[in-house]
Structure 1
């Protein structure tokens, strides 16, 4: 399903944002499932945490996969335990939850405590991609090749 908004004028005037526009177009029609519920927590400027409420799941039942720009959390509950339930209110169904990660965001760890899975994330921008100040020269560097060429043409006084 296409979104009602046309991104083509922006595609023409931007460089390197193709992936962003593809994500916006593809996610416009998605109505994702709401299980399991989760929180996104900003710990510091470049550190984040995802908390997923996974009551009834053990760490053996959960698989976390970090791919390029995507984090996938899958839960597969073991087969029935043989009990005869009168009411089953704790959702133990299998799930797959996907999170889009920005460039240079790495998964640094995961912990399970009291039915809450916490996944730690950190954004580490390489030095080559960080903003840097470029100083403007006085023009002396442009005249330097001309001076060298003049010296080579002029005979040296002995």
Structure 2
């Protein structure tokens, strides 16, 4: 049983949350599950997405990373027409699979082996955002600065 949730009343009464509502609506859309995929955490800051794309060649697949979204698109070339299929069980329909990436996640290289497409992801936090240790200085330097600021305040008054 599927129920739809309408975010319109919330959109009218909030400002700046458009991206959040877009993500919620995108997650609520039905997913046909094709192609199947795995997401693996390789290390502290590295991940890998593996898509099962049997029947596709590397040149049939396009991987695009843009802002916080990774899009994998596959369109298989037409059959050469040799022979008639009695049963076609290998899904080879065109697909587009989108992945929302968190901030500071960058897509690395992609490899194709044995019908599996592997895309490496890595969290790259800018130096300005990383925590840094602040050295604690002696009390004399701090007191000198405090005394200097107090004397400036007295002169201004």
Question: Normalising TM by the smaller chain, what interval?
Answer: 0.7 to 0.9
Q: Which residue of 1 aligns with 2:146?
A: 142
> What's the CA shift string for 1:92-142, capped at 9, x where partnerless?
100000000001111110000000000000000011112335678866233
When normalised by structure 1's length, the TM-score is: 0.76
Separation in 1, partners of 2:118, 2:31: 21
> What's the CA shift string for 1:24-61, capped at 9, x where partnerless?
53235311220000000000010000000011100000
Closer, same or farther: CA 134–19 of 1 in aligned 2, 3 Å? farther
Q: What pairs with 1:54-69 in structure 2 (closer than 5 Å)?
A: 54-69=53-68
Q: What pairs with 1:45-56 in structure 2 (closer than 5 Å)?
A: 45-56=44-55
Q: What pairs with 1:79-118 in structure 2 (closer than 5 Å)?
A: 79-82=78-81, 83-118=83-118
Q: Alpha-carbon deviation of 1:65?
A: 0.3
Q: Alpha-carbon deviation of 1:148?
A: 6.2
Contact 1:7 1:21 in 2 (8 A): no
What is the RMSD computed on CA atoms of the aligned residues? 3.2
Counterpart secondary structure, 2:131: coil
Counterpart secondary structure, 1:44: coil
Q: Which residue of 1 aligns with 2:39?
A: 40
Q: Which residue of 2 aligns with 1:122?
A: 122
Aligned residue-pair number: 145
Structure 1: tracts of 5 or more residues without a match = 153-158
Q: Alpha-carbon deviation of 1:19?
A: 6.5
Counterpart secondary structure, 2:121: strand
Closer, same or farther: CA 45–114 of 1 in aligned 2, 3 Å? same
When normalised by structure 2's length, the TM-score is: 0.77
Separation in 2, partners of 1:103, 1:19: 17
